[in-house]
Structure 1
Amino acid sequence: MNQKYPPAPLDETDDALRAERTERAGERAAEREERDPFLTAMGERVRLLRARRGMTRKTLAAETGLSERHLANLESGVGNASVLVLRQLAATLNCSLAEVLGDETTASAEWLLIRELLHGRDQAALQRARIALAEMFAQAPRDPHRKDRIALIGLRGAGKSTLGRMLAQERKVPFIELTRVIEQLAGCPPSEIHALYGASAYRRYEHRALEAVVDEHPHAVIASPGGLVSESGTFNVLLSHCFTVWLQATPDEHMRRVVAQGDLRPMSGNREAMDDLKRILAGRAELYGRADMTFDTSEKTLADAYLQLRDRLAARLAAEAPDEARVN
C-alpha cells in the first residue's frame, strides 16, 4: 500500500516556485551581462586566430593547459579570462596580445591616419600598398630570383605535391616539399615536433626551413605546409622570395583526395571534420588570397589541371616580366 504524504502548505509551495523563478531570471540576466560586446568580439578573434592556424579547440586547450570548456566559454563571449590566460593564448597562437584584445591600429594617431587611407580599398589596392611598404622598408635588395621560385600554397588535398612535381619536372628545377626539409632539420616528423616541443617549436623549424631553401635554391618549385600562411613572418619571406600560387579546391574535394591517399586522420575520431575544414578554409582565405595567383583544381582531371596551371602560370610570369625590367 502506497504511503501518502500530506501536501505542502500552499504558501510554502508558492514561495518555492517564486524562488526558482527568481533564480532562473537571475541566471538569464547574468548570462546577458556576461555576453557584452567586448567579450563577444574577443571570443570571435580567438576563434578566428585558432582557425587560421588549423587548430581544433582540443589542441589549443592541450597546448595552453586550459580546459576545453573554459575555451568554449571564452570563444562564445561568456568567459571572462584573466590577463595571464590571454597572454598564454597569444603565445600559443603566436600573435600579439593586442590581436586577441582588439584592434592595434587604434594605438596612435599615425595608425589611425594610415587605417583611414586604407579603409574601403579593394584587395588589389591593399596588395599594391603592402608591396610598396615592403619595398620601402626592405633591408635587402629585391630578390632577382623571386619569379624563378614557384611556391604552391593551400590546404592538404589541393594538389600541391602532385602538380608541384609535374611542374618542377617540366621546368627542370628541384621540387621541394618544405615539410621534408623541416623533418631533416628537426630529425623527426612534424607530428613529433608538435608532440614533444609544441607548436612554437614547429613554427621556428618551418621558418628556418624556408630560409634554408631560399638560400640554397635560386630555381625551384616549393610545396608549402598549409598552415604556413598563418605565421606572418614566415609568409612574408615566402611572398618576398617566391612567386606564390594558391591552389584552391572545394572542402569536399579536399577531404575526398586526402582520404583517397590513404590518410584517414581527417575523419578519425572527429565527426565534425568537414565543419572544421570549412572553418579553416574560411579563416585562411584572406591570407591565401595574398598569393600572386590563384588556381582552382576542383572538378578537373589531373592532366587538365596541370596543363591549365602550366599555361596560366607561364602567361602571368611573361606578363609581369616587362614591369620588373622597367623597375630594375
Structure 2
Amino acid sequence: MTHSNVVLIGPPGSGKTSVGQLLAERSNRRFFDTDRVIEERHGCSVSEIFAEHGEAYFRQLESNILDEMSNENWTNFVLGTGGGIIVTPGNLQKLEKLGLVVCLFAPPSCLLDRLKTDQTRPLLASGDDGSKEKRLNELVAARETKYRMARYTIETANLAPDDVAAEIEKLLCISDSTTNEVPSG
C-alpha cells in the first residue's frame, strides 16, 4: 500500500517545513504548510493572529484547513503543520485521514538551539533565552504524548534534513507496520 500524502507533526524547530519542502521536491508532491496557508488567507502573520484573536481562534483556523483538505480530497502532497495542531481534539484523527502521519522530534535543547533567532513563533517569541527554554520545555512536555501517537516518529536531532526526507521515503514503501519508532542513524 502506498500513501499519496504525508503529514508532518512535531514541536517547533523539529524540521517540519525544511524536511517537508525537501520531501515534496524529491517525491514530486506539492508542499503545504498550515501556518503559511493561514497567513496567506488572512493577510497577516501567525503572531499577529495570536495577538489580535488569541490561540483558540488560531487553532480553529488550523482545524478548518484540515476539514477543507479532507472535504476537497486534496491529494499528492506533503503537509507541514504548526507545532500545536495536535492540541485541538480531533485534529490528529483528521491528519490520519489525510495521509501518513510522521512525527519529527528532537529534544528541547536541540529545538531551542534551532529556534534561538526565530521571532515568528508566537508562543516562543518573547523573553530571554532562559524563559524561552522554560516555555519550550513546557510545550514539549504537554504535547509529547500526542506527538508520539503518530504512526512513525523520526528523531531529527542528529540527522540532516535530507536524511530525514530519505527516512520518510522509506516509510512510504512500508505497509501494515506496527512500529511507532524508526531508528535513526
TM-score, with length taken from structure 2: 0.82
Q: Where does residue 9 of structure 1 map in the other structure?
A: none
The one-letter amino acid paired with 1:269 is G
Residues 207, 172 of structure 1: alpha-carbon distance in 2 compared, 3 angstrom cutoff:
same
Q: 2 CA distance for matches of 1:183 and 1:268?
A: 20
Q: Does residue 269 in structure 1 map to residue 127 in structure 2? A: yes
Residues 302, 243 of structure 1: alpha-carbon distance in 2 compared, 3 angstrom cutoff:
closer
**How far off its partner does 1:193 sit?**
1.7
Q: Where does residue 155 of structure 1 map in the other structure?
A: 11
- Superposed CA RMSD in Å reads 2.3
- Residues 116-265 of structure 1 aligned to structure 2 (within 5 Å): 147-214=3-70, 215=72, 217-259=74-116, 262-264=117-119
Secondary structure at 2:18's aligned position in 1? helix
Residues 239, 303 of structure 1: alpha-carbon distance in 2 compared, 3 angstrom cutoff:
closer
**How far off its partner does 1:184 sit?**
2.6
**How far off its partner does 1:273 sit?**
1.9
Indicate which of 152, 162, 172 corresponds to 1:293.
152
Q: 2 CA distance for matches of 1:302 and 1:201?
A: 31
**Structure 1 gap ranges (5+):** 1-143, 322-328
Q: Which has the larger radius of gyration?
A: 1
Residues 301, 186 of structure 1: alpha-carbon distance in 2 compared, 3 angstrom cutoff:
closer
More RCO (CA 8 Å, sep 6+): 2
Q: 1 CA distance for matches of 2:172 and 2:92?
A: 23
The one-letter amino acid paired with 1:289 is R
**Higher strand share goes to which structure?**
2
- Residues 44-59 of structure 1 aligned to structure 2 (within 5 Å): none
Residues 283, 174 of structure 1: alpha-carbon distance in 2 compared, 3 angstrom cutoff:
same
**Higher helix share goes to which structure?**
1
Q: 2 CA distance for matches of 1:272 and 1:204?
A: 27
**How far off its partner does 1:174 sit?**
0.4
Runs of 4+ in 1 over 6 A off after TM superposition: none
**Structure 2 gap ranges (5+):** 178-185
Secondary structure at 2:101's aligned position in 1? strand
Tell me if structure 1 keeps the 8 A contact 2:102–2:151: yes
Aligned residues: 172
**How far off its partner does 1:267 sit?**
7.0
Q: 1:201-235: CA deviations, max 9, x gaps? A: 21221111122233252111000100010101223
Secondary structure at 2:90's aligned position in 1? helix
- Residues 55-94 of structure 1 aligned to structure 2 (within 5 Å): none
